[in-house]
């Protein structure tokens, strides 16, 4: 409860910051509020607090909350310029914070109405933010496309919820799970359709193939900071929401006829997402689009991790999200700095970056290596844990496909690395970044290395 109040309080505070005349302070307040949020979560671990039967703050949901708060802090550090250009400062803040509330609800809901609310609270601010570069026609297109298709997906979600209610007569996922034991008078068909519809809605939010068509346009149209936000925090929210529904509710129907069909669809989505995302990314020359497609590929790996339901799934998914969000954020950060400097997003802007700014090039290299899954960085272990579960279930073919796709990933990530180290730069001027930014970027690299070397330490901290 405290976390929810804190996040919404911060959102409301930044909305009225103009009136209270504390605009200057708001940045600091938000960052410290997010730190406080992490502290609260760590304190609440193990309490299993129930909030009016609507939310349940169990350890998994708190772990996801800690993760997205941490990523949000880094994101705010990265997006400083987005908030300091003097226009619409406070509504940018409050939009982001409200969408964080949505993510929080998604990580901890027990009631399907909260699921819907969470998705909407998360999405609506992001629709606005995607269009926040008002004079850029592509930004407008992104917002419009995202909104239109997002609304469509919300329709699926609502329809799915209704079907489930029709089958079971309850919105509570714990009760839905319990109904699998006493299944008299249960309409399996209604339930199956309901679950599949919700899966489609989430597949849209996670930008999974074949519901991914909006992603590249929206990602490349939106301002880079918002793209980073969408590909990290929004994705954490969507995955956490789906994870909860799948683990708590859907998986308790594993003995029913429709379950194998459902997991079949899920696996198909995962495999398609991994291969299509990586294959298309390999042919991109716009780095922002490349990262967008690569994030689709990573979504596939995460879905695969969720689908391999095992006792360790929550670790696996959480760890993957941690590794992925940090490296993705770092790479978007570097892209942001470099593209602002050169006014382009083509891969050629990375030529010879190592001479123009070694810290940017170093961080980008580590982030890309991590996303490519090279040990001992976090990204390797993330993929490794997923593959371990896949092989444990005996899906050798899926493991081979996933491995070959990540080899394609190596190809396009290395194009950027090669450009940075050997390309001949078009503009010889160095790129300046502040000492603090430099520090945070190096911190992210160190975390990526450390999380890879000592995953046990992180697990011990969060999943006590």
CA pair distance 100, 358, nearest whole angstrom: 33
263, two tokens: 């997991």
Cβ distance to another protein smaller for residue 54 or 374: 374
CA pair distance 151, 166, nearest whole angstrom: 22
Cβ distance to another protein smaller for residue 210 or 358: 358
Q: Smallest gap, in angstroms, from Cβ of residue 358 to another protein?
A: 9
Cβ distance to another protein smaller for residue 1 or 407: 407
Q: Smallest gap, in angstroms, from Cβ of residue 287 to another protein?
A: 17
Query: Cα-atom radius of gyration of the chain, to the nearest Å?
Result: 21
Cβ distance to another protein smaller for residue 149 or 376: 376
Q: Smallest gap, in angstroms, from Cβ of residue 369 to another protein?
A: 7
Please, is 321 exposed, middle or buried when counting C-beta atoms within 10 Å of its C-beta (0-12, 13-18, 19+)? Answer: buried
Please state, as a whole number, how many other Cβ atoms lie within 10 Å of the Cβ of residue 387: 22
CA pair distance 230, 320, nearest whole angstrom: 16
Cβ distance to another protein smaller for residue 436 or 457: 457
Overall residue count recorded for the chain in this entry: 464
Cβ distance to another protein smaller for residue 85 or 346: 346
377, two tokens: 């960085």
Q: Smallest gap, in angstroms, from Cβ of residue 16 to another protein?
A: 46
Q: Smallest gap, in angstroms, from Cβ of residue 391 to another protein?
A: 5
Binding stretches for another protein (CB under 8 A): 312, 315, 354, 369, 374-376, 380, 384, 387-388, 391-392, 399-400, 403, 406-407, 410-411, 414, 417-418, 421-422, 454-456, 459
Within 13 Å and on the Cβ side, how many CA atoms surround 441?
27
Q: Smallest gap, in angstroms, from Cβ of residue 42 to another protein?
A: 20
CA pair distance 216, 290, nearest whole angstrom: 9
∠ CA 310-313-317, rounded to 5°: 155
Q: Hey, which residues does 56 pair with through a beta bridge?
A: 50
């Amino acid at each position: 409860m405290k976390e929810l109040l804190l996040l919404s309080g911060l959102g409301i505070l930044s909305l009225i910051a103009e009136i209270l005349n504390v605009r200057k302070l708001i940045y600091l307040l938000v960052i410290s509020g997010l730190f406080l949020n992490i502290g609260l979560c760590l304190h609440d671990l193990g309490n299993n607090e129930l909030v009016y039967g609507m939310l349940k703050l169990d350890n998994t949901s708190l772990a996801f909350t800690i993760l997205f708060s941490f990523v949000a802090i880094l994101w705010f550090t990265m997006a400083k310029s987005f908030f300091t250009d003097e226009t619409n400062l406070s509504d940018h803040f409050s939009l982001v914070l409200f969408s964080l509330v949505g993510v929080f609800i998604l990580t901890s809901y027990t009631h399907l109405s909260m699921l819907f609310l969470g998705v909407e609270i998360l999405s609506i601010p992001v629709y606005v933010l995607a269009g926040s570069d008002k004079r850029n026609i592509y930004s407008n297109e992104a917002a419009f496309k995202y909104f239109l298709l997002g609304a469509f997906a919300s329709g699926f979600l609502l329809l799915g919820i209704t079907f489930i209610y029709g089958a079971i007569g309850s919105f509570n996922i714990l009760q839905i799970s319990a109904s699998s034991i006493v299944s008299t008078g249960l309409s399996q068909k209604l339930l199956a359709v309901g679950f599949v519809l919700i899966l489609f809605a989430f597949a849209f939010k996670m930008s999974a193939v074949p519901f991914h068509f909006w992603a590249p346009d929206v990602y490349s149209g939106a301002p880079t900071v918002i793209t980073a936000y969408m590909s990290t925090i929004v994705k954490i929210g969507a995955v956490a929401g789906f994870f909860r529904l799948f683990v708590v509710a859907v998986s308790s129907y594993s003995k029913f006829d429709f379950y194998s069909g459902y997991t079949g669809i899920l696996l198909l989505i995962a495999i398609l997402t991994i291969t299509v995302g990586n294959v298309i990314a390999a042919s991109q020359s716009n780095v922002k689009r490349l990262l967008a497609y690569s994030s689709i590929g990573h979504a596939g790996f995460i879905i695969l991790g969720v689908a391999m339901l095992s006792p360790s799934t929550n670790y696996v998914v959480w760890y993957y999200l941690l590794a992925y969000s940090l490296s993705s954020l770092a790479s978007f950060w570097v892209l942001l700095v470099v593209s602002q400097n050169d006014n382009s997003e083509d891969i050629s802007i990375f030529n010879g970056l190592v001479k123009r700014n070694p810290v940017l090039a170093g961080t980008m290299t580590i982030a890309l290596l991590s996303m490519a899954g090279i040990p001992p960085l976090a990204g390797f272990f993330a993929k490794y844990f997923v593959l371990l579960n896949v092989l444990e279930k005996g899906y050798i073919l899926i493991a081979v496909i996933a491995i070959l796709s990540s080899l394609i990933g190596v190809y396009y990530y290395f194009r950027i690395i090669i450009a940075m180290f050997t390309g001949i730069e078009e503009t010889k001027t160095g790129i300046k970044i502040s000492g603090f930014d430099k520090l945070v970027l190096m911190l992210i690299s160190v975390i990526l290395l450390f999380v890879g070397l000592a995953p046990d330490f992180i697990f011990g901290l969060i999943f006590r």
